[in-house]
């Protein structure tokens, strides 16, 4: 990629410009599909706004986390799950009872490390690699000077209507106040009944579900704007431990830590989705398998 892709555009074009960020691990089979689709999307959208492509693919070799790091991340997810339940207005078990269950399960899993623990120690390392790529993508985006960031992981699958639906979405977002923070999930992946976020839903139309408190589905394909990327980066600097979470959990934690007032962050989930999450539709096999 040329360095010109990272130079801030003129102010007149930055006001509505779009960066398309590709988070991948240089999987040739997936990229042979993804890159041409993205090139076509850029050509289509460039008729109405400046569009650039960014990438985050560099990563270290996969080395399983130590038992203690894997256990620490297990505990972080345990604590996050309880906070996440409160955020969604769900009932939770007493703290002491829940902690006892966590300790019991941890002993069964790690003393000694069983096959599930060894698999998790490897996947734990991969999760942090993926989260790091998303963070690097947000930083690249902020350096670009553009207004919107559309992030694709490499298991995204395009629909015939994806370009048109995305263009219509961007035109709608252009009407929001400049200071509005924006998050839009575009590919889904988890079933709504599994997410249990119905209490956060504030309305819906033929294209989107809207949420009074921001929440993610997955990180396969999502759109944010500069104001939200700035909020994410400020929070990560204040609380660097959050970056140890998997990206889906990490973004939810970033939302929760900032305790947004109802409606402060514009949050919408495409329904039906604008893109498909290939790892959940059978188009790809997830790396967690």
pLDDT (tens digit, 9 = 90+) per residue, 22-56?
999 999 999 999 999 999 999 999 999 999 999 99
CA-based nearest residue to 166, from 144, 149, 153: 149
For the record, the structure tokens of 37 come out as: 């689709």
A 10 A CB-CB count for 30 gives 18
In the chain the domains, ranked by start, together with CATH numbers, are: 3-58+120-279 (3.90.550), 67-114 (no CATH)
Given pLDDT bands bounded at 50, 70 and 90, which one contains residue 14?
A: low
pLDDT at 277 over 80: yes
Q: Average pLDDT of the chain? A: 91
Cα angle, residue 175 at apex, residues 171 and 177 outer, rounded to 5°: 140
* Residue position matching structure tokens 């396969």: 220
Quote the pTM value: 0.91
Give Cβ neighbours of residue 132 (< 8 Å, ≥ 6 apart).
Answer: 59, 243
The 10s digit of each residue's pLDDT in 179-213 is 899 999 999 999 999 999 999 999 999 999 999 99
Beta-strand pair 148-153/221-225: antiparallel
CB 133 within 8 A of CB 57: yes
Given pLDDT bands bounded at 50, 70 and 90, which one contains residue 288?
A: low
A 10 A CB-CB count for 8 gives 12
Give Cβ neighbours of residue 147 (< 8 Å, ≥ 6 apart).
Answer: 14, 15, 16, 17, 18, 225, 226
For the record, the structure tokens of 116 come out as: 């599930």
Residues 252 and 284: their CA atoms lie apart, in Å, by 25
What number of helices (H) and strands (E) belong to the chain? 10, 10
CB 121 within 8 A of CB 65: yes
Given pLDDT bands bounded at 50, 70 and 90, which one contains residue 178?
A: confident
Helix (H, G, I), strand (E, B) or coil at 96: helix
For the record, the structure tokens of 15 come out as: 């006001």
* Residue position matching structure tokens 């623990």: 117
């Amino acid at each position: 990629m040329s360095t010109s892709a990272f130079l801030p555009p003129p102010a007149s074009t930055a006001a509505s410009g779009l960066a398309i960020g590709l988070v991948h691990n240089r999987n040739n089979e997936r990229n042979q599909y993804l890159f041409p689709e993205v090139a076509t999307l850029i050509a289509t959208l460039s008729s109405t706004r400046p569009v650039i492509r960014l990438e985050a693919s560099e990563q270290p070799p996969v080395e399983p986390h130590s038992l203690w790091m894997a256990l620490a991340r297990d505990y972080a997810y345990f604590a996050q799950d309880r906070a996440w339940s409160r955020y969604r207005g769900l009932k939770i078990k007493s703290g002491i009872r829940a902690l006892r269950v966590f300790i019991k399960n941890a002993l069964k899993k790690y003393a000694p490390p069983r096959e599930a623990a060894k698999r998790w120690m490897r996947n734990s390392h991969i999760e942090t690699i993926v989260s790091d790529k998303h963070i690097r993508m947000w930083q690249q985006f902020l350096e670009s000077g553009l207004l919107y960031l559309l992030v694709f992981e490499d298991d995204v699958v395009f629909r015939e209507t994806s370009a048109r639906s995305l263009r219509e979405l961007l035109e709608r977002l252009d009407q929001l106040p400049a200071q509005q923070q924006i998050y839009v999930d575009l590919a889904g992946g988890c079933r709504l009944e599994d997410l249990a976020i119905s209490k956060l839903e504030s309305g819906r139309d033929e294209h989107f579900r809207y949420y009074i408190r921001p929440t993610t589905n997955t990180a396969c394909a999502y759109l944010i704007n500069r104001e939200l990327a700035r909020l994410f980066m400020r929070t990560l600097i204040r609380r660097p431990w959050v970056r140890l979470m998997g990206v889906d959990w990490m973004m939810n934690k970033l939302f929760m830590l900032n305790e947004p007032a109802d409606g402060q962050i514009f949050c919408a989930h495409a329904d039906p989705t604008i893109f498909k999450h290939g790892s959940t539709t059978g188009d790809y096999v997830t790396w967690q398998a």
